[in-house]
């Protein structure tokens, strides 16, 4: 069964897609992507689950009024709009942080977690990541959006195929344009989820790509140490966007995590 639509949540109109039948499996995209990053995994995941993906506020086809919002609260509101009380949740990069925030603040809603190169808000960046952050900020401040897009492609998809790089560029350019136009400001969880890991009850599968920047391996180790029920995997020949670089291996890893 396939369906799609727009759900209204806190002055936002969230684009969503649902495919397959079975237990609910919700996919939360990376901050350098949108819901399209999950498409290579759908044939495998939808065979056994009702797979729901969506564009977060400031990304893809979702539209928002200006203001301050919380992405984890948005996710909970979307689940309410779709009639989903409890789900398996998969989050990539910043989407992994959003999934963790939902699991920490509303644990009854999350049956299990899969965290793909997940982010945390208070990990001091390596010099490589700090240099990228500063260069991206300068490019945006100077209205050099093409340069900012190129920086992101080189940072997050440098070893990916040209087709993947083109998709990342399109997703990131769209996000920059939306966020600059809409004036969306993300409300940070206080205290941050990194000090609430003990509140996460769901079993967690953690994965990183062996070609990713070093920061995310450090986050993964912190998550493995801080979460009560966590296993850690490394995906071979994958960069930061594991679902695009190694979709078959990641789909199998997700299903293994749901069965654990």
Question: Which domains does the chain show, CATH number per domain?
Answer: 2-123+183-259 (3.40.50.1820)
Q: Which 3 state secondary structure label does DSSP give 67? A: strand
pLDDT in tens, 178-237: 999 999 889 999 999 999 999 999 999 999 999 999 999 999 999 999 999 999 999 999
Full-model pTM: 0.97
pLDDT in tens, 94-111: 999 999 999 999 999 999
Q: What single DSSP character describes residue 246?
A: S
Report the 3 state secondary structure along 159-220: CCCHHHHHHHHHHHHHHHHHHHHHCEEECCCCCCHHHCHHHCCCCEEEEEECCCCHHHHHHH
């Amino acid at each position: 069964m396939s369906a799609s639509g727009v759900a209204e949540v806190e002055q936002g109109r969230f684009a969503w897609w649902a495919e397959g039948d079975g237990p609910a499996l919700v996919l939360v995209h990376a901050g350098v992507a949108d819901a399209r990053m999950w498409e290579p995994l759908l044939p495998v995941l939808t065979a056994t689950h009702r797979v729901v993906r969506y564009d977060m506020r400031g990304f893809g086809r979702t539209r928002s009024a200006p203001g301050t919002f919380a992405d984890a609260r948005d996710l909970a509101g979307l689940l309410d709009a779709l009639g989903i009380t409890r789900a398996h949740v998969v989050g990539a990069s910043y989407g992994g942080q959003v999934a963790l925030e939902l699991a920490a603040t509303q644990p009854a809603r999350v049956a299990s977690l899969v965290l793909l190169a997940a982010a945390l808000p208070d990990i001091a960046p390596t010099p490589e990541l700090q240099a990228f952050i500063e260069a991206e900020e300068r490019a945006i401040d100077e209205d050099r959006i093409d340069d900012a897009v190129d920086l992101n492609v080189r940072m997050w998809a440098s070893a990916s195929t040209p087709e993947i790089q083109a998709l990342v560029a399109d997703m990131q350019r769209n996000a920059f344009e939306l966020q600059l136009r809409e004036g969306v400001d993300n409300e940070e969880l206080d205290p941050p989820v990194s000090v609430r890991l003990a509140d996460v009850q769901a079993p967690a599968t953690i994965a990183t790509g062996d070609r990713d920047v070093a920061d995310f391996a450090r986050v993964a180790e912190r998550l493995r140490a801080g979460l009560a029920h966590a296993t850690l995997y490394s995906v071979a020949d994958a960069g930061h966007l594991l679902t695009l670089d190694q979709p078959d291996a990641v789909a199998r890893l997700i299903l293994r995590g749901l069965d654990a």
